[in-house]
Chain A
Amino acid sequence: EPEVTQTPSHQVTQMGQEVILRCVPISNHLYFYWYRQILGQKVEFLVSFYNNEISEKSEIFDDQFSVERPDGSNFTLKIRSTKLEDSAMYFCASREARTQETQYFGPGTRLLVL
């Protein structure tokens, strides 16, 4: 069964460094999302992406964040200058089509900022 994949599974970085989290959505899906979950807290929406542009974004998704679909398969989340509070699980999700609303999630990347 097709699934969303994410790399790396774990990332440790120093505060102020840039990180890129990578996702490969399910191949025929057109809508892409990033969510995050700080340890012990709820899953929170960051951004949605369709047709090579951001559709919606939350207050969390400020100027230090960016997303890109650099080729036909990858979907990336870049954090330009990481802060301690960016430490979290980051989940990518994808959805097939406008009429098929179910989002499917990847296994996540655990980011630890020291």
Chain B
Amino acid sequence: DAKTTQPPSMDCAEGRAANLPCNHSTISGNEYVYWYRQIHSQGPQYIIHGLKNNETNEMASLIITEDRKSSTLILPHATLRDTAVYYCIVRAPSRSGNTPLVFGKGTRLSVIA
């Protein structure tokens, strides 16, 4: 089962920042927080990941609280093409090298014009 809790849906106005929260209160010290999104039954698309420091790339920023029990994905200027289901996943580096991703239900983000 997924170890994260996300709101089922959110709306965001086009051009505004979208802030998607995720709770992972049972996260272990070596577990990373990953964010993926899925646009209308396409394959999940990697967005960003982090361990404890905040991270930023060309797609988004990831803010992880100091206690690591929650995080927020920020899309700084949402566009209509950002409408998707966003998944927050915690995952430890695997000894076998091949631990799968465990997807929850995610947050359905609707960007509104």
A25 to chain B, nearest CB (A): 13
Q: Are B103 and A50 in contact (CB under 8 A)?
A: no
Which of B3-11, B18-26, B41-49, B75-83 participates in binding chain A?
Answer: B41-49
A112 to chain B, nearest CB (A): 13
Residues in A1-57 with C-beta less than 8 Å from chain B: 4, 31, 33, 35, 37, 42-45, 48-50, 55-56
Given the contacts A55-B96, A56-B99, A101-B32, A42 and B46 also touching, CB distance less than 8 Å: no
Residues in B68-87 with C-beta less than 8 Å from chain A: 87
Q: Are B101 and A91 in contact (CB under 8 A)?
A: no
Give the interface SS of chain A, mostly helix, strand, loop or mixed: strand
Q: How far is the CA of A89 from the CA of B38 in the complex (A)?
A: 12
Partner among B36, B43, B102 whose Cβ is within 8 Å of the Cβ of A108: B43
Q: How far is the CA of A48 from the CA of B98 in the complex (A)?
A: 6
Verify if B29 is at the interface (C-beta below 8 Å from A).
no
A9 to chain B, nearest CB (A): 11
Q: Are A107 and B42 in contact (CB under 8 A)?
A: yes
Residue of A at shortest CB range from B91?
A101
Verify if A75 is at the interface (C-beta below 8 Å from B).
no
A36 to chain B, nearest CB (A): 11
Query: Which residues of the other chain, A, contact B101 by a CB distance below 8 angstroms?
Result: 35, 43, 45, 103
Residue of B at shortest CB range from A110?
B41
Given the contacts A106-B43, A108-B43, A44 and B98 also touching, CB distance less than 8 Å: no
Q: Are B44 and A45 in contact (CB under 8 A)?
A: no
Residues in A40-98 with C-beta less than 8 Å from chain B: 42-45, 48-50, 55-56, 58, 89, 91, 93, 98
Q: A45-B102, A48-B100, A102-B46 are known contacts; what are 17 more A-B pairs with Cβ within 8 Å? A: A4-B43, A31-B98, A35-B101, A37-B41, A43-B38, A44-B103, A48-B99, A49-B98, A56-B99, A91-B43, A98-B97, A101-B49, A101-B91, A105-B43, A105-B45, A108-B41, A108-B42
